[in-house]
Amino acid sequence: MGQESDTDEALVSRAGRGDRSAAAMLVERHTDKIYACCFRILGGKHAAEDAAQETFLRLWKHAGKWKQKGAKFETWLYRIAMNICFDQLRKTRREAPEDAAPELVDGADRPDQALFLGQRRFAIDNALSQLPERQLLAITLCHFQEMTNIEAAEVMGVSVDAIESLLARGRRALREQLAPMRENLMGKMSDETNAHVN
């Protein structure tokens, strides 16, 4: 495992020739990222799972013919996932954040803290889900997936300047959406910090 010869490109080639272990390694390596990205775009677990599954189904279908033409394998895989997500969004609206109600967050020291963390998460997920698709995708790729602006630009097929603009507009929109509850969230965040310190 983890040999230098196990590049994504080599694994796709082997998977295309029927090597099941190569396919399994690709799944192990990329499912988390692809699923997380689909989850951000589609806003729900079930839709994200379907999209991730469909992404790999298309990968298996094309693995035998796949040839590297400039873009890295991962970029290509993200593009497939994004196309599936946006097709899905054209058919149906984005899912509301999970269960459309705040949940208690595991790992908090006190019940009120768990409730606060759940409410904060809900508010932020909700604000993200209100963003226009391309702004959400830019933030997802650069912030959550930790891609560089160049990698994100490749996935989205736009210029680096366009990515920068989408990120700035997206973050501004988030700030505006969260502004009404900002003081409350900030105050609670301070309480939370104090509780940990004490």
Partner 1 sequence: MKQMRTSTDNFEAVKRCFDAYGGDITHWPAEARERFGAFARSDELAAVRLEAETLDGFLGAASAPQVSVDLKNRIIAQYDAPPATMTIRGLLSDLFTPRRFIPAGAFAGIGALGLASGILSVNVGYAMTPEAEAYAYVYSDSVISLEAFDEEEEVQWDED
Residues at the site binding partner 1, with contacts judged by CB under 8 A: 3, 5, 13, 15-20, 23-24, 27-28, 31-32, 35-36, 39-40, 45, 48-49, 52-53, 56-57, 60, 63-64, 97-98, 117, 120-121, 124-125, 128, 139, 142-144, 146, 148-150, 164-165, 167-168, 171-172, 174-175, 178, 182, 185-186, 189
Least distance (Å) between residue 132 CB and partner 1: 16
Whichever of 115 and 178 has its CB closer to partner 1, that residue is: 178
Nearer to partner 1, 7 or 157 (CB): 7
Distance CA 157, CA 86 (A): 14
Comparison of 110 and 172: residue with beta carbon closer to partner 1 = 172
* CB-count exposure of residue 45 (10 Å: 0-12, 13-18, 19+): middle
Q: Which amino acid is at 48?
A: A
Question: Are residues 71 and 61 in contact, defined by beta-carbon separation less than 8 angstroms?
Answer: no
In the complex, the smallest distance separating the C-beta of residue 164 from partner 1, rounded to whole angstroms, is: 5
Q: Looking at beta carbons only, is 46 or 93 nearer to partner 1?
A: 46
CA distances to 76, 125, 136, 138, 173 from 177, in Å: 33, 11, 14, 18, 6
Nearer to partner 1, 133 or 164 (CB): 164
Question: Least distance to partner 1 from the beta carbon of 43, Å?
Answer: 10
What is the rounded distance in angstroms from the CA atom of residue 76 to the CA atom of residue 56? Answer: 12
Residue 125's nearest CA partner among 140, 111, 112, 114 is: 140
